Chains A and B, each alone.
Chain A
Amino acid sequence: MPSSLWKDTLREIKKTLGRFFSIFAIVAIGVAFFAGVKASVPDMKYTADAYFDEYNLLDFRIVSTVGFTKEDVQAIREVKGVEGVDATYTMEALTMVGPQQLTLKVHALPEADPRADDPDYINQANLQEGRMPRTSGECLIEKNDIGDSGLKIGDTIVLSSGTNTDISESLKTKEYTIVGTTFNPNYLSYEKGSSSIGSGKIDNYIMILKDDFKSEYYTEVNVTVKGAKDYNSYEEAYFEITDKVKTALEDVGADRSEFRFEEIKKLANEKYEEGLAEYEDGKKLYEEEITKAKDALEDAKIKLAVGENTLQIEKKNYEVKMAEGKQQLETAKAQLASGQQIYQNIKKEFDERKPQLEEQLTKLEGQLDTIKEQVQRIDEQIAQTKQQLEQPGLTDLEKELLNQRLTSLQQQKDVAEAALPMIEPTISAIRSQLENTQSQLQMMEEYLRILQQQIDEGERELEEGKKTAELQFALAEQELIDGRASLISGQMELAKQEKKGLEELELAEEKLEKAKRDIEELPQPQWYVLDRHSHYSYMDYGSVADRMDGISKVFPLFFFLVAALVCLTTMTRMVEEQRSMIGTMKALGYGKAAIAFKYVFYAFVASVLGSIVGCAIGMTLFPTVIFNAWALMYTIPHIKFVMQPVLAFTASFIVIGITMAAAYAAVYKELMEVPSQLMRPKAPKVGKKILLERITVLWSRFSFIQKVTARNIFRYKKRFLMTVIGISGCTALLVAGFGIQDSIGEVVSRQYGDIMQYDLSVMFDKDASLSQKEEIMDALAKDGRFEALMGVGQYNGNAYDGSETEAITIVVPSDIEAFKQFVSLHTRIGQKEQELSGDSVLISEKLSMNLNVSKGDTMIIDDGDGIQREVKVGGIVENYIGHYVYMAPGYYKDIFHVRQVDTALLAKLNDAAPEVEVTLGNELMKDEQITSVTFYSGIAESFQDTIASLSFVVVVLIIAAGMLAFVVLYNLTNVNISERVREIATIKVLGFYDKEVSAYVYRENIFLTMIGAFCGLFLGIGLHQLIMNLAELESVMFGRNIALLSFVLSFLITMLFSIIVNLVMYRKLKEVPMVESLKSVE
C-alpha cells in the first residue's frame, strides 16, 4: 500500500482518538467476554484433569453385586492396558455429631504410608492438615470449609451401619480418631451423591486403612489405564484409549461372575427362609399374645358381671332391712302412744281421787289425834287422880271416889284406846293406796321415757344405716363403672393392637413376598465397569464447565451486535466528515478499493488492537473469576491456563470481520456517488416531521427543546439502535446481576418457609415397630413444645432417565389432609395448590426439568431397591432444594405393593428458638427408636452461606454493564458532538449558556438511555432466566423472581452511568469553538 495512505490512516487515528477508542473498546470488551467466558471452560476442565492426574484418579471403578475375590483381582490385573489396580472396600456408615447425623462414605487407604508413585495407589489423598493414618482406628476426613460438619483433628467418631447388621461385621473397629484432613480427586464437590442409608445424601467421607475392613470380598476395584493420563479426560481422545480397556474388562467380568451366581442365590434364599421363619414366629407370638389378652378381657368381663349382681342383691337386702326397722319403730311408737294414754288415764283418776283420799286421811288422822288427845287427857286425869290418891289425908271415900274415878277413867281410856286400832289401819291402808298409785304412775312414766328413747335411737340408727348403705352402694357402682370403662378401653386396645399386629404381619408378609420376587428376579451378578462417565465428581464438574459454555454463547452475540453498531455509527460519521476528501481522491483517480481501504483499515487497526487487549485480559480475567467462583463449591487447587490460540483467533477474526464489514458498509454508500457530488457539501439530512408530530395533542404540549430532542432521536436510526441496544444490554446485565441475588437469596426462605413449613423431621429407626412409633408420636403429641406433628413415609430412591439417574426422596404422607399444613404442594407459577390423587404422583419442578417430564407423562422410579416401576406424573410442584416425589398412600401401595409406613415424623414447633432445638434434639436422640433429628433452621443457614458467596457474579456483571454503557454512550456523544459541531457552535453564538448547550445535546442521550434502560428491564428478565438455567446445580433449582428494587436499581445505575459519561463529555462540549460556526459546510 502506498505509504501516504499509511500515514494518512495514522494521522487520522491520532486526530480522532475518541472515535478510535470507541471501536477499540467495544471490540476489546466483546472479545474479552466471548473469549474469556469460553476459555474458562477448557481452563476449568484442564485444571481438573491435571488435578485428577496428580492424585491418580481412577479411570474405572469396577463394582459387582457380589464383590470380588483375589482371583477376580488377578484376572483384572492381567487385562492388557491396565496400569494400576486397587482392590478395595467402600461402605456407607452413619455417625453422630451432636444431635446431627452424618452419612459418611468410608474409603480405604491401601497402606499406612502409601507412596505417591505407586500405580496401585489410586484416588490418592491430598492431605491438607495433620498426618496420614498409621494404625487401625485412625482416619482422614475431608477438609470442609463450607457446611462445616463440626469435626476436627483429634475428634473421635463412632460409626454405625444404619442397617440391621452390626457394623462390626464389616469393620474391625467402629471408633476412629481423625488424624488429618484431606481432599480427594474422587470428590470434587461438596455434593457427594446419594446414599442408601441415613438422610439419603452423603455428607462427608473418611479414609481408613484397608486393614480395618474385614470383608471377605473386595467391594470394588479401582483401575487406571496405561497412557490415559496423556490425554485430557474431558476430551474424546481419552475415551478412545480407555474404551478398549473397558471392553476387555467387561469380558473378564462376564466370565468371572458366572461362578458366583448360584452361590448368591442360595444365600439370598437362605436369608429369605430365615425371614420367613422369623415371620412365622412373629405370627405365632402375635396370636398367642392376642389370645392371652382376649382371655384376660373375658375374665374381667365376668368379674364385672358378678360385681353387678352382688350389688343388686345387697341393695335388695338393704331395702328389706330398712322396711323391717321402720316397721319396728312404728310398733314401738304405737306402744308408746297407748302407754301414754293409759298413763294419762291413771293419772287423771288418781288426780281425781287423791284429794278425796287425802281428806279422808286428814279426817281419820284428826280422829286419831282426838282419840290420842282423849287418851292423853285421860292419862293426865288418871295421873291427877293417882296423885290425889297419894295425897295423905284422903278419905277413903274420897279414895273410893277417886278409885272409882280411876276406874271409870281407865274404862274411858280403854274405850278410847280400843277405837285406835280401828282407825290406824284405815289410815295406813289409805296411805298405802296413795303411795301405790303414785309409784305406779312413776313406773309408767319411766317406762314411757325409755320407750321414747328407744324409738329415737331406732330412728337414728335407721338414718345412719341408710347413709352408710347409700355410700357403699355409690362406691360399688363407681367401681362397676370403672370396671366397665377399663373393659371397653381394654377391648379397644386389644382391637388396636390386633389391627396393628395384623398390619405389621401383613407388612412383613408383603416384604417377604417382595423379597421372594426380588430373588426370582435376581439378576445374574454382573461386573459394572464404570468409567469416568459414571464418575459423579467428574461429570458434575464437567457439566458445570459446559454450562459456562452456554453463557459464553449468549453474551458475545450481544456484544458483537453492539460492536457492529458502534463501528457502523462511528465510521458513518467519519466518512460523512470526509466526503469532500473522498471526492477529491476519487477525482484524483484513486480506486474505490483504495479509498475504502483507509476506513476499513482504520477499523481493522482498532479491532486488532481491541482483540489483542480483549484476549489478553479476557482470557485470564474471566477464567480466573469464574474458576474461583466455582472453587467455592469445588475442591480443586489453583487454576491452570491452557493455551487456546484457536479460540483467540476465532474470536478476534469474528469481531475484526464485523467491524471491517461495518466500516465498509459505512463507506460504501459514499463510494457510489460521483466525485463532483461528493465535493459539493452533502445536503444535510433533511429535517422531517416525525410520527409523533401527527399526534398534535401530545406534540403541542412539548416544550421547544423537547421537540428538538424528539426529532433528533428519530432522525438517526443507527444511533438510536446502537444506544438502545447497548444501554438495554447494560441494564439487562444489571437486572440479571441483581436478579441472581434475589433468586438465589430467596431459595432458602421459599424452600424452608413457604414450601416445607415444618421445623424439624425425625427419622425412625428402620426396625422400629408400628406401635413403638405410635408411642413416640403419642408422647410428642402431648409435649407442649410441638404445635403439630405427623408421620410420613420417606424413602430414598432414584428416578431414571435413560442412562441417567437422579436421587429422589419419595414422600408418602400418612394423612393427605394433615400433610397440607406441613408441606405446601403448589405450582410455582400461579401458586395453584396440587392435590395428591390416588393414581399419580407429584414431582418437584427441577426433577421434571432434569427428566424432561411434564404433567400426564409417566416416569420410572425405584424406592432404593433398584427395581424400576412406572408412575404417572399428576403435577409439578414448586421446590428448590432436592428432588421429591410425593405419593398418596393408596397409589404407593399400588405401585410398590407395600403399604405406607411412617418412617419419619414431621413436626412444627411452637417456638423454634435455637436453645429449644438443642434441648429437644438431645431429648429426642435419647430414644432408641429415633436415628436422627434434623432441624431446618440449621440447614437453611448453611445453604445460605454457600450461595451468598456467589454474589461476586453480580460484581462482574455490574462492571461489564458499566463498560458497555460507557463505550456506547461515549460513542454516541462523540458522534453527536462531532456531527453537530456547527449546530453547537451556532447555539453558543446565539448565547446559550454552557449548561443549556449540554442540556440541548444530552437531553437526547438521557432520553435514549431511558428507552434503552426500559427495554433492558425486559431483556434483563430473559437474560436472568437464561443465566439461572445455566448456573443451576443438579438438584437445586434457583428461583426465577427479580425483586422490584432490583429493577429500580438497575434503571438508576444505568442512568448514573449515562450521567457519568455525560459529565466526562461535558468538557469536550465546552471546548467546541464558536468559530466552527463560521466554517463552510463540509
Chain B
Amino acid sequence: MPSYIEFQNVKKIYHMGEVDIEALSGVDFSIDKGEFVVIAGASGAGKSTILNILGGMDSVSSGKIYVDGNEISSYNARQLTTYRRYDIGFVFQFYNLVQNLTVQENVELATQICKDPLDIVETIRAVGLEDRMHNFPAQLSGGEQQRVAIARAIAKNPKILLCDEPTGALDYHTGKAVLKLLQDTCRNQGVSVIVITHNLALTAMGDKVIKVRNGKIESVTVNEDPLPVERIEY
C-alpha cells in the first residue's frame, strides 16, 4: 500500500535544442495525508520541477507518481486538468492574482469550477481580509495579496496545497503570517501542504523535510516535533 503521495524514480529531462538538461534524475519520496512538508534546496536543484510535476502542470520523463492511489504520471492533459481542478491548490511566489478582479472575485474564479468549494466569505475571513473583499489586488500589499492567493487555493478545498516559495517576495513578518496560515490550514483541515523554501530555518516547522540537490533527493527527514511558525526565527 503506497503512501498518499508517492514519487518513484521520477526523472525529468528538459530538451533545450541540442542539450538535455536533467532537472530531476531519479527522485523517490513519499508524503502522507495531512502532512506539512517542506522542500528545501539550492537554486536550480529541482524543487520547482518536483512541485510542478506533482501539481500536474508538467509531465515526467520517466518514473511514476501516485497520488491517493492514482498514477498521475500516466494522465493525459485533460485528466491532469481535472486533477488540478479538484485535487490541487497552488500558491505562487508572485501571487498571480487576476488584476482585474476583486479579492472576492479572485477567490470565486477558483471556486466556481470546483465540486465542493468552501464558503468564499468564510475563507476570506479566515485569511483576515474580510474588510478588503471588494478591493482589487493592486490596492493590497504583497502579503495581503499572497493571503488572497492562499484563500483562493484553500477555497477550492483541495487535497494537496502546493506552495512555491510563498514568502519569497515578502518581508519577514508578513512571510511568517503567511506560513502560519498555511500551517493552520494543514492542521485544521487535514490538507497535505507542500512548501518550497530556500530558507533552511523554516525546515523546523515541517512534519517532513525533503532536501533536494542537483535533481536528487539529498535527504528526507521526518520531524517528530514540528515547531509552530511563531516560534521559528530566521
Task: Please report A residues at the B interface, Cβ cutoff 8 Å.
Answer: 683-688, 704, 707-708, 711-712, 715, 982-983, 985-994, 996, 1074-1075, 1077-1081
With A991-B156, A994-B81 already in contact, 12 other A-B pairs whose C-beta atoms are closer than 8 Å = A684-B99, A686-B139, A687-B137, A708-B100, A715-B100, A983-B99, A986-B92, A988-B57, A991-B85, A991-B86, A991-B113, A993-B78
Q: Which of A684, A687, A712, A988 contacts B102 (CB 8 A)?
A: A687
> Would you call B136 an interface residue if the criterion is a C-beta within 8 Å of the partner chain's C-beta atoms?
yes
Q: Considering the complex, give the chain A residue whose CB is closest to the CB of B97.
A: A986
Please judge, given known A-B contacts A711-B100, A1078-B48, whether A688 and B57 are in contact too, CB under 8 Å.
Answer: no
Q: Considering the complex, give the chain B residue whose CB is closest to the CB of A1070.
A: B77
Give the residues in chain B near A1078, CB-CB below 8 Å.
48, 52, 92-94, 164
Q: How far is the CA of A990 from the CA of B156 in the complex (A)?
A: 9
14 sample A-B contacts, Cβ–Cβ < 8 Å, listed by A number: A687-B102, A687-B137, A704-B105, A704-B108, A704-B109, A707-B105, A708-B100, A708-B101, A715-B100, A989-B90, A990-B156, A991-B81, A991-B156, A1081-B94
Please judge, given known A-B contacts A686-B138, A707-B105, whether A712 and B94 are in contact too, CB under 8 Å.
Answer: no
Q: How far is the CA of A707 from the CA of B98 in the complex (A)?
A: 13
Please judge, given known A-B contacts A684-B99, A1080-B94, whether A987 and B109 are in contact too, CB under 8 Å.
Answer: yes
Give the Cβ gap from B2 to chain A, nearest Cβ, in Å. 24
Q: Considering the complex, give the chain A residue whose CB is closest to the CB of B169.
A: A1080
> Would you call B43 an interface residue if the criterion is a C-beta within 8 Å of the partner chain's C-beta atoms?
no
In contact, B57 and A989 (Cβ under 8 angstroms): yes
Q: Considering the complex, give the chain A residue whose CB is closest to the CB of B158.
A: A991
Majority-rule SS of A interface residues: helix
Q: How far is the CA of A683 from the CA of B138 in the complex (A)?
A: 8
Number of interface residues, chain B, beta carbon within 8 A: 37
In contact, A992 and B113 (Cβ under 8 angstroms): yes
Residue with the highest number of chain B CB atoms closer than 10 Å, among A708, A990, A996, A1081: A990
In contact, A990 and B99 (Cβ under 8 angstroms): no
Give the residues in chain A near B61, CB-CB below 8 Å.
none
Give the residues in chain A near B100, CB-CB below 8 Å.
687, 708, 711-712, 715
In contact, A982 and B93 (Cβ under 8 angstroms): no
> Would you call B32 an interface residue if the criterion is a C-beta within 8 Å of the partner chain's C-beta atoms?
no
In contact, B99 and A996 (Cβ under 8 angstroms): no
Q: How far is the CA of A506 from the CA of B113 in the complex (A)?
A: 97
Q: How far is the CA of A873 from the CA of B108 in the complex (A)?
A: 71
Give the residues in chain A near B99, CB-CB below 8 Å.
684-687, 983
In contact, B108 and A686 (Cβ under 8 angstroms): no
> Would you call B198 an interface residue if the criterion is a C-beta within 8 Å of the partner chain's C-beta atoms?
no
> Would you call B84 an interface residue if the criterion is a C-beta within 8 Å of the partner chain's C-beta atoms?
yes
Give the Cβ gap from B206 to chain A, nearest Cβ, in Å. 21
Give the residues in chain B near A986, CB-CB below 8 Å.
92, 96, 98
In contact, B84 and A989 (Cβ under 8 angstroms): yes
In contact, B57 and A1074 (Cβ under 8 angstroms): yes
Q: How far is the CA of A708 from the CA of B100 in the complex (A)?
A: 7
In contact, B90 and A990 (Cβ under 8 angstroms): yes
Give the residues in chain A near B98, CB-CB below 8 Å.
708, 983, 986-987
Majority-rule SS of B interface residues: mixed
> Would you call B82 an interface residue if the criterion is a C-beta within 8 Å of the partner chain's C-beta atoms?
yes
Give the Cβ gap from A992 to chain B, nearest Cβ, in Å. 6
Q: Considering the complex, give the chain B residue whose CB is closest to the CB of A683.
A: B138
Q: Which of B57, B113, B136 contacts A687 (CB 8 A)?
A: B136
> Would you call B179 an interface residue if the criterion is a C-beta within 8 Å of the partner chain's C-beta atoms?
no
> Would you call B60 an interface residue if the criterion is a C-beta within 8 Å of the partner chain's C-beta atoms?
no
> Would you call B58 an interface residue if the criterion is a C-beta within 8 Å of the partner chain's C-beta atoms?
yes
Give the Cβ gap from B98 to chain A, nearest Cβ, in Å. 6
Q: Considering the complex, give the chain B residue whose CB is closest to the CB of A987.
A: B109
> Would you call B55 an interface residue if the criterion is a C-beta within 8 Å of the partner chain's C-beta atoms?
yes
Give the Cβ gap from A683 to chain B, nearest Cβ, in Å. 6
Give the residues in chain A near B92, CB-CB below 8 Å.
986, 1077-1078
Please judge, given known A-B contacts A987-B109, A990-B113, A1075-B57, whether A687 and B90 are in contact too, CB under 8 Å.
Answer: no
Q: Which of B52, B94, B101, B102 contacts A1075 (CB 8 A)?
A: B52
Give the residues in chain A near B101, CB-CB below 8 Å.
687, 708, 711
Give the residues in chain A near B102, CB-CB below 8 Å.
687
Give the residues in chain B near A988, CB-CB below 8 Å.
57, 81, 84
Contacting residues of chain B (113-163) with chain A, CB-CB under 8 angstroms: 113-114, 136-139, 152, 156
Q: Considering the complex, give the chain A residue whose CB is closest to the CB of B48.
A: A1078
> Would you call B88 an interface residue if the criterion is a C-beta within 8 Å of the partner chain's C-beta atoms?
yes
> Would you call B181 an interface residue if the criterion is a C-beta within 8 Å of the partner chain's C-beta atoms?
no
In contact, A990 and B57 (Cβ under 8 angstroms): no
> Would you call B112 an interface residue if the criterion is a C-beta within 8 Å of the partner chain's C-beta atoms?
yes
Give the Cβ gap from A1073 to chain B, nearest Cβ, in Å. 8
Give the residues in chain B near A987, CB-CB below 8 Å.
98, 109
Please judge, given known A-B contacts A704-B108, A992-B113, A1074-B57, whether A686 and B96 are in contact too, CB under 8 Å.
Answer: no
Q: How far is the CA of A1079 from the CA of B93 in the complex (A)?
A: 8
Q: How far is the CA of A711 from the CA of B101 in the complex (A)?
A: 8
Q: How far is the CA of A707 from the CA of B92 in the complex (A)?
A: 24
Residue with the highest number of chain A CB atoms closer than 10 Å, among B82, B99, B114, B156: B99
Give the Cβ gap from B203 to chain A, nearest Cβ, in Å. 22
> Would you call B110 an interface residue if the criterion is a C-beta within 8 Å of the partner chain's C-beta atoms?
yes
Q: Considering the complex, give the chain A residue whose CB is closest to the CB of B99.
A: A684
Q: Mark B196-230, 1 if CB is under 8 A from A, else 0.
A: 00000000000000000000000000000000000
In contact, B81 and A1075 (Cβ under 8 angstroms): no
Please judge, given known A-B contacts A687-B102, A1074-B57, A1074-B58, whether A991 and B112 are in contact too, CB under 8 Å.
Answer: no
Please judge, given known A-B contacts A704-B108, A704-B112, A711-B100, whether A990 and B48 are in contact too, CB under 8 Å.
Answer: no
Q: Which 4 A-B pairs rank lowest in CB-CB distance, beginning with the nearest?
A: A991-B85, A687-B136, A991-B84, A1074-B57
Give the Cβ gap from A707 to chain B, nearest Cβ, in Å. 7
In contact, B55 and A989 (Cβ under 8 angstroms): yes
Q: How far is the CA of A714 from the CA of B112 in the complex (A)?
A: 23
Q: Considering the complex, give the chain A residue whose CB is closest to the CB of B102.
A: A687
Q: How far is the CA of A276 from the CA of B70 in the complex (A)?
A: 120
Give the residues in chain A near B94, CB-CB below 8 Å.
1078-1081
Q: How far is the CA of A952 from the CA of B2 in the complex (A)?
A: 72
Residue with the highest number of chain A CB atoms closer than 10 Å, among B81, B83, B152: B81
Q: Considering the complex, give the chain B residue whose CB is closest to the CB of A710.
A: B100
Give the Cβ gap from A565 to chain B, nearest Cβ, in Å. 22
Give the residues in chain A near B84, CB-CB below 8 Å.
988-991
In contact, B85 and A990 (Cβ under 8 angstroms): yes
Give the residues in chain B near A708, CB-CB below 8 Å.
98, 100-101, 105, 109
Q: How far is the CA of A986 from the CA of B110 in the complex (A)?
A: 10
In contact, A990 and B110 (Cβ under 8 angstroms): yes
Residue with the highest number of chain B CB atoms closer than 10 Å, among A704, A991, A992: A991
Give the Cβ gap from B168 to chain A, nearest Cβ, in Å. 9
Give the residues in chain A near B109, CB-CB below 8 Å.
704, 708, 987, 990
Give the residues in chain A near B105, CB-CB below 8 Å.
704, 707-708
Q: How far is the CA of A1078 from the CA of B156 in the complex (A)?
A: 20
Give the Cβ gap from A579 to chain B, nearest Cβ, in Å. 16
Q: Considering the complex, give the chain A residue whose CB is closest to the CB of B55.
A: A989
In contact, A686 and B57 (Cβ under 8 angstroms): no
Residue with the highest number of chain B CB atoms closer than 10 Å, among A687, A707, A715: A687
In contact, B78 and A687 (Cβ under 8 angstroms): no
Give the residues in chain B near A715, CB-CB below 8 Å.
100
Give the Cβ gap from B15 to chain A, nearest Cβ, in Å. 14
Q: Considering the complex, give the chain A residue whose CB is closest to the CB of B49.
A: A1075
Q: How far is the CA of A257 from the CA of B110 in the complex (A)?
A: 98
Give the Cβ gap from A456 to chain B, nearest Cβ, in Å. 129
Q: How far is the CA of A715 from the CA of B99 in the complex (A)?
A: 11
Residue with the highest number of chain B CB atoms closer than 10 Å, among A708, A986, A1074, A1077: A986
Give the residues in chain A near B112, CB-CB below 8 Å.
704
Q: Which of A685, A990, A991 contacts B82 (CB 8 A)?
A: A991
Q: Considering the complex, give the chain A residue whose CB is closest to the CB of B58.
A: A1075
Give the Cβ gap from A1079 to chain B, nearest Cβ, in Å. 8
Give the Cβ gap from A991 to chain B, nearest Cβ, in Å. 3
